[in-house]
Amino acid sequence: MITLIIKLLVAHVLGDFVLQPNRWVEDKKSKTFMSKYFYLHGFVHLILLLVFLEFNGSYWLSTLSIVASHLIIDLLKLKLERKINSQFLFVLDQLLHLVVIGIVVYAHTPYTILFETLYSAEVLLLLLAVITVSFVLSIVMKIIMSKWVLEEDKSEDSLENAGKYIGMLERLFVFGFILLNQWSAIGLLIAAKSVFRFGDLSRAKDRKLTEYILIGTLVSFGLAIAIALLYEYIAKKL
């Protein structure tokens, strides 16, 4: 089963991301199913599936099903391009392709999904820790740092909510590094952030901004480390 999943995923990734030039994508967006690249894209997927499935005749119906469903999903995506958020549409598009692949794999090698596992204490604890490190601590950090208001926070030059997402990502990295017992990587992360921030600090020559960044970074990292250590402690008790 695993081998079949990997083969189908490799074929999908190559066909959708590697062997689909930007000009194909743009032409499909403007002409939809009238574009020759729409059908060429399907043909590429067909060839890839035949190659990775080693031209095994027992997969012919599955191969045609994947290619046909892929074109139908892509056509729906093209039709909804201007009506739905592009990021959401991309995720939905890929999820539907993966669902089709999952159905094909199940047809050849039936498997059982143990939903009970999703409700196990271990999985729920990990989910709670990840949500806390990302979303909950974002709110906590906002409350803590609201004591100080700098002009930089109100600057229109920065991306909307960029600081929030940067904080979430860095805490998730810290959480992951601790679970992997890679404490040295946390130091590398701090060093990298310092390098990126050095230009702002050197131009600003502002002691308040320096202190603000240091406090925010240390508090954010400290909270992430605390959550990670607490998670490991509780996980060992389960």
Read off the tokens for 209.
Answer: 């901004």
Residue 16's closest CA among 111, 109, 100? Answer: 100
- Contact in structure between 73 and 15 (CB atoms under 8 Å): no
Residue 229's closest CA among 183, 161, 167? Answer: 183
Query: pTM for this one?
Result: 0.77
Rounded (5°) CA angle 58-61-65 = 140
- Contact in structure between 217 and 196 (CB atoms under 8 Å): no
Question: What distance in Å separates the CA atoms of residue 146 and residue 34, rounded to the nearest whole number?
Answer: 54
The predicted pLDDT at position 167 comes to 92
The predicted pLDDT at position 152 comes to 60
Class of residue 55 by CB neighbours under 10 A (exposed 0-12, middle 13-18, buried 19+): exposed
| Spans of all domains in the chain | 2-108, 116-237
- pLDDT in single tens digits along all 238 residues of the chain: 899 999 999 999 999 999 999 999 999 999 999 999 999 999 999 999 999 999 999 999 999 999 999 999 999 999 998 888 888 999 999 999 999 999 999 999 887 777 778 789 999 999 999 999 999 999 999 999 888 876 665 556 667 788 889 999 999 999 999 999 999 999 999 888 877 766 555 555 566 777 788 888 899 999 999 999 999 999 999 8
Q: Calculate helix-pair angle for 2-13, 86-108, nearest 10 degrees.
A: 150
